[in-house]
Amino acid sequence: MSSYTEFATIYDRLMVTIPYDEYVTMIERASQTSLASLHILDLGCGTGTLTEKLAAQGAHVTGIDLSEQMIEIAKNKKGAQAHYEVCAMQDFQLEEKYDLIVCAIDALNYLTTWEEVVTTFERVYAHLKEGGTFIFDVHSLEKMAILYEESPFTYDDGEVAYIWETEEDEEPNAIISHLAFFVEQEEGIYRRFDETHRQQTYPYEHYAHALQNIGFTIEMITADWSLTPPNEESERIFFQVKK
């Protein structure tokens, strides 16, 4: 299943509405201290937008992502300060221990099985310092339903356009996204490429139980960039847990 190959080249352009600065604020609040000198790991870092924002605050940041294309773009960004590695989040094995680990913007939903989710949590626990914090977000069940029921989605800014269609996967609360991108090469001529992505989520209580079974203490579960608990209409669920 192709994902984040050619899409990597236009990813930042299409993600301009993502409130990365709010994620930085969330991390600062969880750390209860300046980010300067903290050692942070960014799982599923993509093109490094959040990674570099954290590094700009003085943190020592490592970003890992499965997509070689995304990591290459992150490394080549002007003023890049973080360290990057191509690695799957469920398989990473690094020598360092971290003060904080983050997995942002539903990256965890790209894992293909529940076993991979649990394994990722175990890898995170092993790589955190004692008292370290893990922050991540996932799509809610409601969000997955919306992505299926309201498909197709379209976008066109004159230079980049896409048609995004979704279908239900065999597994519950999982969707397959078929994306056709059109990128202007010269006036009136567009290059098309296609990608297929799969995401799956679970009831947020399942994530909570798995985290607790591994040994994490849950500090906060919130929804939709607020400090309020999730409800049936919430679309993005945030977890803040401590080792």
CATH classification code of 6-139+203-242: 3.40.50.150
pLDDT of residue 107: 98
CA-to-CA dists, residue 121 to 1, 76, 113, 167, angstroms: 24, 30, 13, 28
pLDDT of residue 2: 52
Domain boundaries, the chain: 6-139+203-242, 142-200
Q: Produce one character per residue of 109-144: b if its CB has 16 or more CB atoms within 10 Å, e if not.
A: bbbeeeebbbbbbebbbebbeeebbbbbbbbbbbbb
pLDDT of residue 3: 61
Q: Are 138 and 106 in contact (CB under 8 A)?
A: yes
Terminal Cα distance for the chain, rounded: 34
Q: Can you tell me the distance from the alpha carbon of 51 to that of 45, in angstroms, rounded to the nearest whole number? A: 7
pLDDT of residue 6: 86
Mean pLDDT by 10 residues, the chain (243 residues): 76 94 96 93 98 97 97 93 97 96 98 98 99 98 96 95 97 96 91 96 98 99 97 98 98
Strands, sheet with 174-186, edge to edge from the N-terminal-most edge strand: 153-156, 160-168, 174-186, 189-200
CATH architecture of 142-200: Single Sheet (2.20)
> The pTM is what?
0.95
pLDDT of residue 78: 85
Determine the distance from the C-alpha atom of residue 233 to the mean position of all C-alpha atoms in its chain, rounded to a whole number. Answer: 21
Residues 6+ positions from 188 with CB-CB distance below 8 Å: none
